Amino acid sequence: MRAYYFDNLPGDQRLPHDSGNSVSDETLKSIGVLHWHIPIDEEGLYERKVDEVAQERNYKNRDVIAISKESLGDQLEVKLKTFYHEHMHEDEEIRYIMKGSGFFDVREHDTESWIRCHMGAGDLMVLPAGIYHRFTLDENNAVRTMRLFKDEPKWIAYNRGPETDANQYRVDYVNSLQTVAVN
């Protein structure tokens, strides 16, 4: 995974939008974003390593989704617009890229800057509950992703706005950042 600040220039969301300013692992950790690279292998050893992360984080369920023209047909562009709208979840979002690639953009709370995380096969990312983020494919236009869940699979997005800013999960997330900054 490669992380850098989004350039905020107009253009297709699937383009790199690389500002040239890299983002360190420490910066990602400071906003609660964790990631690992677990290479896909023929023997399926990657599954054991993904299982270890899932067990450590108390994830019990998973599914696999494909986002591409082949899998979604005419709904692809509609889905991408939904995923790209700035939102948060009340659960951690954990994704393991099995094939293809895409971008997770995460909002750096203090600066309001977007950090773009380009993920490819073997990359696993955990986004904390309450962080504002968005997702899009890259120019390859296809990804196959394992989604992990603590309980039953669900994906409920709360689009950014005053009501979501007051959501308890968002408030808890922001408070956790202030606690980290103090320590």
Residue 93: per-residue pLDDT: 94
Residue 181: per-residue pLDDT: 58
Residue 26 contacts by C-beta under 8 Å, 6 or more apart in sequence?
none
Ligand-binding site membership of 17 (annotated): no
Tens digits of residue pLDDT in 22-65 = 999 999 999 999 999 999 998 889 999 999 999 999 999 999 99
Domains and CATH numbers, the chain: 2-182 (2.60.120.10)
Ligand-binding site membership of 87 (annotated): yes
Contact 92, 126 (CB under 8 A): yes
Contact 38, 96 (CB under 8 A): yes
Ligand-binding site membership of 109 (annotated): no
Ligand-binding site membership of 93 (annotated): yes
Which portions of the chain are predicted below pLDDT 70?
A: 180-183
Residue 182: per-residue pLDDT: 53
- Does the global pTM surpass 0.85? yes
Residue 180: per-residue pLDDT: 60
